[in-house]
Amino acid sequence: MQLMMSKENMREIIAHGTYLRSFCPHCNDVLIVDDLLKLIIIDESGEQGELILSPYLNVFRSESTIQIPDRSIAKDIRCPCCSASLIVKDRDCEHCHSSVVKILVEAVSHRIDFYICSRKGCKWHGLSQLDAQDICLEDSDEW
């Protein structure tokens, strides 16, 4: 008789508070500077500033060097290294349906897609459907 491992046992769990080593999906550059996840944010008027997020899972922190009104959606969010837009077209926030940003995060075995909502104050984040089959985020609203 074959011993079957349940799907659940094989899932990798990214624990609450895990430090997410983050990379740009375009140029593969590290997005962490001084233990902070730093991106370029562009507001409705085209003004550009730095968006500073917590690189720890479920430790929510969002600051920017330009004034972004609460609950407003960023016009664009870009990689500080290659300036490519990180906003994706094929997915939106599962809480507020705003556009989302995709970065790469290092899991145990490989780098995975990690999505972050572009609306200020929204804490939604998630994995791709494919990665979510093998990996789950602890304490997340989503998984």
Q: How far is CA 37 from CA 5, 9, 24, 130, in A?
A: 36, 31, 11, 24
At 68, the amino acid letter reads: I
Q: Bridge partners of 131? A: none
27 binds Zn ion (CB under 5 A): yes
Answer yes or no: are the C-beta atoms of 63 and 57 closer than 8 Å: no
- Positions 2 through 21 that interact with Zn ion (CB under 5 A): none
Look at residue 124 and give its three-state secondary structure.
coil
Query: How far is it, in rounded angstroms, from Cα 6 to Cα 116?
Result: 30
Shortest distance, position 94 Cβ to Zn ion, whole Å = 8
Residue selected from 122, 127, 135, 137 as contacting Zn ion according to rule CB under 5 A: 122
Of 4 and 69, nearer to Zn ion (C-beta) is: 69
114 binds Zn ion (CB under 5 A): no
98 binds Zn ion (CB under 5 A): yes
- Positions 37 through 96 that interact with Zn ion (CB under 5 A): 79, 81-82, 93, 95-96
Which residues of this chain interact with Zn ion, rule CB under 5 A?
24, 26-27, 79, 81-82, 93, 95-96, 98, 117, 119, 122, 124
